[in-house]
A = this chain, B = another copy of it.
């Protein structure tokens, strides 16, 4: 019902829409169509919306807009580390949803990762996702596999704060539920390699009580 109305409005604005009605279908449709954006109604049968959002997040950084019943839910979600790119609380008008979709897509069109072989550059620091190499002004820096994945994930979302658990599930294998101090140690090893003064890191910043973020 809600989905149909929103779908019609989006189509009228020229968007290509695939609507599904439960979490499982959402995941497979996601893998099939690779959408530019997901509009997610939290009132979802089957897989619950929170878990679905989390899984979508592990499949890349496709923007997600959430439809929630109450604004207090947003706080709860943020507390659970499940963030969306935007939220629309009910009751909402379909026009409002369309407006948010436009805004989020406009935002997402300016990728932090550039087009030429997935390379990211921050001042003297350069990462290349294709060759999995890192170098700074002094030359190439040898990183291990995990170290690179961790750094690349952080650097691909500059300034965004991740909890250790978030990093655990997005950088490490999905089912791995190890101790989150693992992240701490890897951050330390990374700092020792890429920071000029590891005790006072310039890029890999600690956010006390929360986690880590990469600052350009």
Question: A85: CB under 8 A from chain B?
Answer: yes
Binding site for B on A (CB under 8 A): 70-72, 74-75, 78, 83, 85-87, 89, 91-92, 103, 106-107, 109-110, 113, 115-118, 128-133, 144-146, 153, 156-157, 159-161, 170, 207-210, 213
Partner of A130, one of B110, B115, B131, B159: B159
| Chain B neighbourhood of A129, CB < 8 A | 78, 83
B157 and A71: CB pair below 8 A? yes
Residue contacts A-B, CB under 8 angstroms, 7 given: A71-B156, A78-B129, A83-B118, A89-B107, A91-B103, A107-B116, A130-B161
Contacts A71-B157, A207-B145, A209-B146 given; indicate if A107 touches B92 (C-beta within 8 A).
Answer: yes
A208 and B72: CB pair below 8 A? no
Q: How many angstroms from the CA of A118 to the CA of B77 in the assembled complex? A: 14
B213 and A145: CB pair below 8 A? no
| Chain B neighbourhood of A109, CB < 8 A | 71
